[in-house]
Chains A and B, each alone.
Chain A
């Protein structure tokens, strides 16, 4: 019964989305306030119905109702509850429902908190948002119904792919989707502005918080995925330039560019046309990401939907939204007034450079991701574009951006003084120089470029702190004045500082672990030991153990340093009985300097096991950096200036204005 209610709610949500699309559009066309106002209750209704539907599906998973085909395919009664819940979105159908649910959630937030929005803009934005819902709900109902029943119901399910049964991966998709879908807000506002033909600084002030939220979610989502790949796949790597990773990375790059260009638009009323285009492109890349992962065109872990019919469907949706919005853009953009002039050396100039580089980098990733598909469909040749391609293109393109990042916040709007900025960065440059010399002195192996990479990371970290240090007159004024100034600084200044700081930390981690990772693959018998990076790893044999839905073989390793016990590591090979699948669990010890990472391999004929041991220096800085970036975004979000409802607009909305 509950399942049927869920299915019915899904259909009703589809109808609500149609109403949310058509009536407000008609309303703005006819300048009818009543019709325009329909957008708000329609968005709310759609969200409530989708929540019902989603809860019904979750209920089916939690009570293991195997009469639902989706549950039977992706769940098993012996699975821990957390993975029963995450099983809801660990498959194609359920994840699409989650996708639309998050879309509706964003729409609802606009409906609820957008009281101060100009009514026309709000109605149009919600209508565009609704139309995306219509397309995806139609897709779900027509090709991927999650509520299909099985009769008779099987005794037990087939279980969730064991490799997906992991806490980080349980929450990876919701964050990723919140990011993807969050960019739909910027898109809807952009299309709404194009429909209205009006675009001002207030528009940017409206779009920026949504973009920021989306960006934060995407940052965490990507970071979780990378963290999962690091400890679950057992290869000691943290990023593989896998097409599915790229699919989430492209919107992140474009979204980062969008955050920065919206800043220019908000503050200086410049770069308007570009910002709108970027909003469209960012969401287009999010759609492309959904398409790439969902259509199964990629050979990848995540491509579970290998049904080409669905792929063609999503391709159609994508062409409609991307093509339609770009056509609207081409038609309307020339009518938008260009604003604010600025000199090449200025805050605006630096943000333009940021945008140029980020979009070029995104384009490189796009080429690398799609080239194999295009080549295969044209010539039938199969190729793989892997890490070497991206290291050769993405790296050099991003390099100038990383070098320039500290300058941006120190340049004034309109016309900046590069000498003053350089002066303020002396100490950061000094710090970086010392770090370069020190790394050359301390580390005797690894590529000669690596110390410069470390210098670059510290340069960004130092640069990020420079602005705060300068503006609070730290060490140059009495401490109480510094404190007063520090409290007076807007939160967004700290936001920028932390975001850039996080970037610097991630760069440090990436450089250190790429350049100085130690790896050993050895055959070990019980009692044997191996030395790596100052540690002594002693193999004590293996022991069997069983978990809730698996049996595992645990390797017993003792790690010592200078004769003293450091830790015991228990990497294992898990055998999931339902799926008859083996997964590898790495044993990881993290010290301040890096991770000791031990993986148990196959049993060898000569006795003993093959064992992989890695030392990954500073690798955790990569994820710590993303957390710091996330925190920076959060600080920016709480800035008074960005709180929903600019003062001017609040006033206007207090007295409902007659339709223009």
Chain B
């Protein structure tokens, strides 16, 4: 093999690996990303049943109802609109009424969000960023109050 051929082999293999990688990334970006919507987005963007997305907002006070077994119903609001959510499983430790939450799943035919995942955030004072932004847009977010002692 001459020097030139060797170089061609090397460049050829590199380009092949690179092309495969780019191809995979592009396909995956097409298929496997999940959008985040607030309850208002769900109405405004007319999300169709069956489309997978993340729904975030505040858990409506008094909306959490336990069903049979581990089933649980609750509602998520951005203070403007509200979406009902159904979930079967164990809720994360920080799930509480009045607090921010993100769920992942899809709408059924009746506009109920069938969540298969309720995301846990691990800090008490921490509001999921998407939720905070969505609430800010609605003008109801006051921001996290910094401790008064900070000077």
CB within 8 Å of A: which B25-46 residues: 25, 27-29, 31-36
Per-residue B-contact encoding for A488-502, CB less than 8 Å = 1, 0 else = 000000000000000
Per-residue B-contact encoding for A57-96, CB less than 8 Å = 1, 0 else = 0000000000001001100000000000000000000000
Would you call B123 an interface residue if the criterion is a C-beta within 8 Å of the partner chain's C-beta atoms? Answer: yes
Determine the chain B residues whose CB is within 8 A of the CB of A72 once the complex forms: 149
- Chain B interface mostly: mixed
Contact A386 B32 (CB under 8 A): yes
Determine the chain B residues whose CB is within 8 A of the CB of A443 once the complex forms: none
Per-residue B-contact encoding for A206-224, CB less than 8 Å = 1, 0 else = 0000000000000000000
Given known A-B contacts A161-B123, A343-B1, A521 and B35 have beta carbons under 8 A apart: no
Determine the chain A residues whose CB is within 8 A of the CB of B80 once the complex forms: none
Per-residue B-contact encoding for A363-380, CB less than 8 Å = 1, 0 else = 110011001100000000
Smallest beta-carbon distance B124→chain A, Å: 5
Smallest beta-carbon distance B137→chain A, Å: 10
Given known A-B contacts A341-B6, A521-B88, A582 and B69 have beta carbons under 8 A apart: no
Whole-angstrom CA separation of A336 from B21 in the bound complex: 30
Per-residue B-contact encoding for A296-338, CB less than 8 Å = 1, 0 else = 0001010010000000000000000000000000000000000
Contact B90 A356 (CB under 8 A): no
Smallest beta-carbon distance B15→chain A, Å: 10
Whole-angstrom CA separation of A386 from B117 in the bound complex: 13
Which of B32, B34, B120, B133 is within 8 Å of A233, CB to CB? B120
Range for the number of chain A residues in contact with chain B: 35 or more
Would you call A381 an interface residue if the criterion is a C-beta within 8 Å of the partner chain's C-beta atoms? Answer: yes
Whole-angstrom CA separation of A612 from B6 in the bound complex: 57
Per-residue B-contact encoding for A386-407, CB less than 8 Å = 1, 0 else = 1011001100110000000000
Which of A389, A392, A601, A606 is within 8 Å of B91, CB to CB? A601
Contact A388 B70 (CB under 8 A): no
Which of A150, A573, A583, A584 is within 8 Å of B149, CB to CB? A150
Instruction: Report the nearest B residue to A153, measured CB to CB.
Output: B149
Smallest beta-carbon distance A274→chain B, Å: 11
Determine the chain A residues whose CB is within 8 A of the CB of B86 once the complex forms: none
Would you call B89 an interface residue if the criterion is a C-beta within 8 Å of the partner chain's C-beta atoms? Answer: yes
Interface size on B, residues (CB 8 A): 46
Which of B21, B35, B90, B133 is within 8 Å of A363, CB to CB? B21
Whole-angstrom CA separation of A32 from B28 in the bound complex: 56
Contact A364 B90 (CB under 8 A): no
Whole-angstrom CA separation of A368 from B32 in the bound complex: 11
Smallest beta-carbon distance A237→chain B, Å: 12
Would you call A564 an interface residue if the criterion is a C-beta within 8 Å of the partner chain's C-beta atoms? Answer: no
- Chain A interface mostly: mixed
CB within 8 Å of B: which A152-168 residues: 154, 158, 161, 163
Determine the chain B residues whose CB is within 8 A of the CB of A344 once the complex forms: 1, 6, 9-10, 13
Would you call A581 an interface residue if the criterion is a C-beta within 8 Å of the partner chain's C-beta atoms? Answer: yes
Given known A-B contacts A363-B21, A521-B89, A605 and B66 have beta carbons under 8 A apart: yes
Would you call A360 an interface residue if the criterion is a C-beta within 8 Å of the partner chain's C-beta atoms? Answer: yes
CB within 8 Å of A: which B46-84 residues: 54, 66, 68-70
Contact B3 A341 (CB under 8 A): yes
Smallest beta-carbon distance A613→chain B, Å: 11
Given known A-B contacts A154-B149, A389-B28, A384 and B54 have beta carbons under 8 A apart: yes
Contact B122 A521 (CB under 8 A): no
Whole-angstrom CA separation of A604 from B151 in the bound complex: 45
Given known A-B contacts A389-B33, A604-B66, A521 and B90 have beta carbons under 8 A apart: yes
Smallest beta-carbon distance A347→chain B, Å: 15
Interface residues of B, Cβ cutoff 8 Å to A? 1, 3, 6, 9-10, 13-14, 17-18, 20-21, 24-25, 27-29, 31-36, 54, 66, 68-70, 88-91, 93-94, 120-124, 128-130, 133, 147, 149-151
Interface residues of A, Cβ cutoff 8 Å to B? 69, 72-73, 150, 154, 158, 161, 163, 233, 235, 299, 301, 304, 341-344, 352-353, 356-357, 360-361, 363-364, 367-368, 371-372, 381-386, 388-389, 392-393, 396-397, 521-523, 573, 579-584, 599, 601-602, 604-606, 610-612
What are 27 contact pairs spanning A and B, CB under 8 A? A72-B149, A73-B147, A161-B123, A299-B130, A301-B123, A344-B6, A344-B13, A352-B13, A360-B17, A360-B21, A361-B21, A363-B21, A364-B25, A368-B28, A372-B33, A385-B29, A385-B32, A392-B31, A393-B28, A397-B20, A522-B69, A582-B93, A583-B93, A601-B91, A604-B66, A610-B89, A610-B90
